[in-house]
Amino acid sequence: MNKGKIKLGLIGGGPNSFIGIVHRIAAYMGEQYQLVGGVFDIDHASGIAFAEKLELDTSRAYESLEVFIEKELALPADERIEVVSILTPNFLHHSMAMKLVDAGFNVICEKPITITAAEAVELEQLVERKKVVFCLTHTYTGYPMVRQMKAMIAAGAIGKIQKVDAQYYQGWINPFIHDKDKRAQVWRLDPKKSGQSCCFGDIGVHAFNLIEYTTGLEVEKVLADIDTLYPDNPLDVDGTALIRTKDGVKGVICASQIATGEENNISIMVYGDKGGLKWEQENPTYLTYMQEGKPAQIFKPGNPYNAEFAQESTKIAPGHPEGLFDAMGNIYKGTALAIRGEKVREGAFPGVKDGVRGMKFIEAVLESNKQGQAWIEIK
């Protein structure tokens, strides 16, 4: 075992998980982590088989989080798993993160951080008390051109921000939503597993996060119109939220999982009085910079004209596209610096505060819709 690497555990992320492979590759990319063990699957036998496949010590493929914590804490500190990634469905994030943080583990958690804002605040307080590193994987913040956008906005490239617009469009729920039996196959449509929201909890929150991440503005109020499509479907699958920031900037967040034919079309546009910036994740290596009366410019990763933050976030020469795995890799890289107690750049990885903001946004969206599209403050 290479003692220099950070020992990583996974909860979920096993053989049939969607996001597990992204985390495993991301952890490998910066050569900072070594996957050691975890609770890889809800089914223990499947978790052990997975550990065997990865040539891990199967005695560290545990049957539950409780056993994981007990057995890992019993090991000498230099052998113990140091950071645990929580990759389970949403309803498990809060209880698992609370237990892990309380036991002193650093945590990398999938979004949404919890199911309610109150739970997120409770977790934030525990993270502060326990002084552990907590990363929330809003993956899109790891793209070099998103980081370039953040740096350009901070440097005044677009002047005073006048308008923000972020969208996340998917269509994958469409084939399930119109048939009640098929709906039951989707845990994201089950309030017990997904939480209070499907569309805004799953993807609208990414768009919200991208706005606050790139602009540094804080969304103060929302007015939302969301749709469940059928009265007997409890959770939203589509919606639009008008937003206003503390500085009075107006904008819009659109999210949909019934936008037929769309895959992972998340985009962000920020317009200022001197220029505008546009980024779309399905073409992640292109950042468009627009200025009055000038031809649009395309910024691309790996070039020395980019800000230091964007340059640090790419591993390969210009023209070789990097994507979602690399973005997650950058978030893991930032988290590794924090775990090692090294200097971490602002924005290197999203944290528990972003989780609290996200949950407050989701609850404000739901409340606004419930009140017949009223403006609701995010407190």
Chain residues that interact with ligand NAI, rule: CB under 6 A: 11-14, 16-19, 39, 41-42, 87-90, 92, 110-111, 137, 139, 187, 202
Q: Which is nearer to ligand NAI, 88 or 330 (CB)?
A: 88
Provide, rounded to whole angstroms, the least separation between the CB of residue 189 and ligand NAI: 12
* 52: number of Cβ within 10 Å: 11
Q: Which is nearer to ligand NAI, 281 or 368 (CB)?
A: 281
Q: Which is nearer to ligand NAI, 18 or 192 (CB)?
A: 18
Q: Which is nearer to ligand NAI, 11 or 135 (CB)?
A: 11
Provide, rounded to whole angstroms, the least separation between the CB of residue 1 and ligand NAI: 24
Provide, rounded to whole angstroms, the least separation between the CB of residue 51 and ligand NAI: 13
Q: Which is nearer to ligand NAI, 140 or 299 (CB)?
A: 140
Provide, rounded to whole angstroms, the least separation between the CB of residue 173 and ligand NAI: 13
Provide, rounded to whole angstroms, the least separation between the CB of residue 15 and ligand NAI: 7
Q: Which is nearer to ligand NAI, 30 or 358 (CB)?
A: 358
Provide, rounded to whole angstroms, the least separation between the CB of residue 54 and ligand NAI: 14
Q: Which residue is nearest to ligand NAI (CB)?
A: 12
- Give the C-alpha separation, 236 to 370, whole Å: 12
Q: Which is nearer to ligand NAI, 88 or 228 (CB)?
A: 88
Provide, rounded to whole angstroms, the least separation between the CB of residue 288 and ligand NAI: 23
